[in-house]
Amino acid sequence: MSVGWDIIVLEILKGGLMTMVNLLKVLIPLMIIIELLMVYQIMEKVAVKLAPLSKMMGMKKETIFPLLVGVIMGVTYGAGTLIEMNKKTPISKKDLMLMGVFIYLCHGIIETGLLFGVAGASIIVVTFVRLLIAFAVTVILSKTPYFRKMDTEDLTGNEA
């Protein structure tokens, strides 16, 4: 028994279209929520409350806002925020590296959690485990000799 190419192509297109529709159901509301968070400065308010966590991870309290943006909104938003913030307040290489580790392990957490949810995974479990792993790895790395001896130069090469 054989199936014609037209049926195979039709099934591929149908499956791809359904996947795209499911992704759009998640991404469009998410982008609206993200814009509302930025417009009403909710991210800044949350960052102030989470500042003690940055100390636990071996970073200065000023790093929590770009870290939060990167974790929630993704690497691009986080990097943009980091670049703008560095113009106003220079960030040390140590803080930058630790932020990079955390964001690498745990970026775009809302989007990823929702996408895993569409695939059938538990959004809460996926989100919590990613946050926990990123936090633990960042704390452990901040205690290593490599990060402890890292100089205090900011991203522009000046002493912070």
Flag whether 85 is in a domain.
yes
Q: Which residue has better confidence, 150 or 130?
A: 130
Q: Which residue has better confidence, 158 or 126?
A: 126
- The residue range of the domain holding 53 is 41-148
Flag whether 93 is in a domain.
yes
Distance of CA 49 to the CA centre of its chain: 18
Flag whether 155 is in a domain.
no
pLDDT at 156: 52
Report residue 16's pLDDT band, with 50, 70 and 90 as the boundaries: very high
Whether 21 has a pLDDT exceeding 80, the answer reads yes
Flag whether 114 is in a domain.
yes
pLDDT at 68: 83
pLDDT at 151: 59
Task: Select from 4, 10, 30 the least CA-distant residue to 112.
Answer: 30
Give 115-148 pLDDT, tens digit per residue: 888 889 999 999 999 999 999 999 999 999 888 8
Give 51-110 pLDDT, tens digit per residue: 889 889 999 888 888 888 788 877 877 777 788 778 877 888 899 899 989 988 998 888
Flag whether 8 is in a domain.
no
Flag whether 4 is in a domain.
no
Flag whether 30 is in a domain.
no
pLDDT at 158: 58
Task: Select from 131, 72, 70, 127 the least CA-distant residue to 99.
Answer: 70
Task: Select from 66, 65, 67 the least CA-distant residue to 48.
Answer: 65
Flag whether 75 is in a domain.
yes
pLDDT at 159: 55
pLDDT at 79: 79
Rounded to whole angstroms, the Cα distance separating 70 from 73 reads: 5
